Structures are given as structure tokens and as C-alpha cells.
Amino acid sequence: MAFEHYRNLCAGSLTPCPGMNVIYGRNAQGKTNLLEAVWLFTGGRSFRGARDGELVAFGQEKAALHLQFYSEEREQEAELTIQNGRRSASLNGVPKRSPAELVGKFRAVLFSPEHLSLIKSGPALRRNFIDAALCQVKPAYAPLLSRYHHTLVQRNALLKDIPRHAELLDTLEIWDDRLARYGDAVARERAAYIQKIEAPARELYAGISENKEQFGIQYQKSAENLREALAAARRDDLQSGHTTVGPHRDDLEVTVDGVSARAYGSQGQQRSLVLALKLAEADVLEQEGGEAPVILLDDVMSELDAGRQHYLLNRLDGRQVFLTCCEPGAVKRLEEGALFEVRRGELY
Ligand code: ATP
Ligand code: MG
């Protein structure tokens, strides 16, 4: 992996080992920036919600990233450049129309402190957790989801037009049919994914939290049969001017001992739950075929006691991991891994 003018990382490279790679350093040195740079090769956006232009080092016009990785049984290389506020990508020397075309090639699972709000925040973040994971597991899911959203936008526009143009009411049927078809498929994929993630997440949660609490997870549909629900909600939808049922209103319910973690979970429980969900995501990615994903763990150790750290490191054995922390002493068993220090945007 090589980088140039990416945030505070001036110019340098990182040659990781196949196992545990610990990236340590004091605050604000560039550790998270480095993980963020690796993450961008999954084809997604910055996990910190940054705009592309913000990724270029202050005072520079262009950032460049280069990654060599193993996937589909061969060595591959990808390039990302960020210029004029836009990312562009190429794979094995061939330019891609959009960085999103990298999705499914280089696969990674990321845990960052931003994810800690997954349990307590609104449902949008939880839907996004499932959607982002599904896009990597099943690249055909991304176009399905975007067809659903596109249809939703069209239907909502129509709902707003109908009060002024009553003759448009007939066309609503067509949009309802289409929305129900895509929506049912989206909800089916999401529910199936949650079923797959449940067993590994349960095992991971038990391990991380060192207790016998019963973990549960369920996909909550806003409608069982979307076609019927759309018909039933039509009057409300026409009044409000938007679609009130469908996968864009679904949620994910996580429970501990049968009660909602969102409503009752403690801080420590939420932390363990999110970590379990993220690592279960990696298990499912691997089960579903293809290369094992790279695990990116930003600042996870500082929050875990020695027993939990020990469990985590053991559980991750055999995977390629990039782990950031302030104090490398906190990470034992380093004889098998590689250690990198980040100081003012330089790697040592
Ligand atoms: P912490 O331990 O606090 O999480 P960190 O090592 O993870 O620290 P980073 O989040 O990687 O730190 O950020 C390092 C520095 O990068 C910050 O001080 C920030 O100001 C700087 N930075 C962010 N974006 C840019 C940019 N576009 N150009 C130059 N510097 C930037
Ligand atoms: Mg950081």
C-alpha cells in the first residue's frame, strides 16, 4: 500500500504482514487516516462521512493511493486518486467509471468509534449497516437497492403531484407494483443476511462479553406484504406526500436477554454488541465465498479489558488485521505480527 498527499500522510508506503498489523502512535498523528485510506479501496466512501475533497492534504491538489491485494485467486492492484473533489479508481491498470466498481473486489470489515452509536441511534444507521455489508457479500444487491430507492423517489414525486393532477392517480398503481417488487426483494435479502449473521454474532458476543447473556437479532419489516401495505397506506401517503411503508422504514432489533438493547443496553453492552456484529460480518463474508476480508479495527483496544482483548486477538488469529492504538504495549502476542509507528503523517 502506498499513499501520497492523503490527509496528513505525505508520501510513504506500508508493507503489511498477513496477520496482525498494529499501527500505533500518539493522538492526531494519522493512524485513522491510514485505515481510512485502506477502507476506500472497498469502493465505499470515507467512514467518517468526509467529502472527497477533504481527503486531499491541505495545500495539495491531488491525493493518490495504491493498493496491492490478493483476490479471485490472483494478485491485483488498484489505484485511487482524489482531485477536484472527486475520487477516481482503476483496477489492474484499467480505469473504472466509478470507484463503486471496486465493490466486492477488495473486501474489508471496519470497526471504528463512529459505529458505537449503531445500537442507540436512529434506524437509518442500522439499515445502512446491513446494506453496506450486503453490497460486499453480494454485489448484485447494490443495483437492486438503488432501483428501489429510485422507484421510491418517483413514487414520492407522484404522491405530491396527484392532489393537483387527479388524472395521475391511475399511474400510482404501476409505481406501487414496481416498488413492492423491488422492496420485497430488498427486505428478503436483508432478512436472510440477518439470519446468517445471527449465529456468529451470538458466539462472538458471548466471547467478548464473557458472560451468559442471550443475544438476539431480528430484521423488523415495516410491512409483511408490501403491495397490500402500500394500498392500505395510500390515503396517508397522499396526505403526507411520501411513502410510509417499505424497506426504507424497516429496522434491526438487537436484544440482550430478550429486551431491546436500544432501549435498555448499557454502554459496555453496546460496545460488545457492535464489535460482535462487525466481526460476524467478516465471518459471513468469508462463508459466502471469496477471499477472507481484511479487518480494520480503529481504536478498539482502549475500551476493552485484558480478558476481552485476549479473546479478540485469539478470535482474529489467521486473519489479516490492521489495528490502531496509542499504546502498543496493550497488544500482546506481537511476535507474530508487524508493528508500525505513525508520527506526524510518516510511518516508521
Ligand atoms: P487519534 O489517536 O486521536 O484517533 P489519529 O492518529 O487517528 O489520532 P487521524 O484522525 O488520523 O489521527 O488524524 C491525524 C491528523 O490529520 C489530524 O490532526 C488532522 O488535522 C489531520 N488532517 C485531516 N485531514 C487533513 C487534510 N486534508 N490535510 C492535512 N491534514 C489533515
Ligand atoms: Mg484515530
Instruction: Give the pLDDT score at 335.
Output: 63
pTM reported for the whole predicted model: 0.91
- In this structure, the number of other CB atoms found within 10 A of the CB of residue 271 comes to 21
Instruction: Give the pLDDT score at 191.
Output: 98
Instruction: Give the pLDDT score at 108.
Output: 95
Please tell me the number of the ligand nearest to residue 6's CA: 1
Q: Judging by DSSP bridges, how do beta strands 294-298 and 321-325 pair with one another?
A: parallel
Query: Which residues lie with the beta carbon below 6 Å from any ligand 1 atom?
Result: 7-8, 25, 27-33, 54, 56-58, 299, 326, 342
- Catalogue the E-assigned strands of the chain: 2-6, 9-13, 20-24, 62-71, 74-83, 86-91, 94-95, 108-111, 215-220, 251-256, 259-260, 294-298, 321-325, 338-343, 346-347
Q: From the CA of 119, how far away is ligand 1's center (Å)?
A: 26
Q: Whose CA is nearest to atom 25 of ligand 1?
A: 7
Phi and psi torsions of 211, nearest 5°: -145, -175
Dihedral, 142, 71, 95, 17 alpha carbons, nearest 10? 120
User: Nearest Cα to 67, choosing from 86, 92, 85?
Assistant: 92
Residue 27 assigned to a binding site: yes
| Ordered per-residue pLDDT tens for the chain, 348 residues | 999 999 999 999 999 999 999 999 999 999 999 999 999 999 988 999 899 999 999 999 999 999 999 998 899 999 999 999 999 999 999 999 999 999 889 999 999 988 889 999 999 999 999 999 999 899 899 999 999 999 999 999 999 999 999 999 999 999 999 999 999 999 999 999 999 999 999 999 999 888 778 899 999 999 999 999 999 999 999 999 999 999 999 999 999 999 999 999 988 888 889 999 999 999 999 998 878 999 999 998 877 788 888 898 899 999 999 999 998 876 655 667 899 999 999 999
Please tell me the number of the ligand nearest to residue 23's CA: 1
Instruction: Give the pLDDT score at 252.
Output: 97
Closest atom of ligand 1 to CA, residue 26? 2
Q: How far apart are CA 115 and CA 107, in angstroms?
A: 18
- Candidates 32, 47, 48: which one to mutate for ligand 1, based on the most atoms within 8 Å of Cβ? 32
Instruction: Give the pLDDT score at 333.
Output: 56
Q: Which CATH class for the 1-107+302-348 domain?
A: alpha beta
User: Nearest Cα to 111, choosing from 138, 89, 133?
Assistant: 133
Residue 30 assigned to a binding site: yes
Query: Domain boundaries in the chain?
Result: 1-107+302-348
Q: How far apart are CA 136 and CA 129, in angstroms?
A: 11
Q: From the CA of 345, how far away is ligand 1's center (Å)?
A: 8
Instruction: Give the pLDDT score at 269.
Output: 87
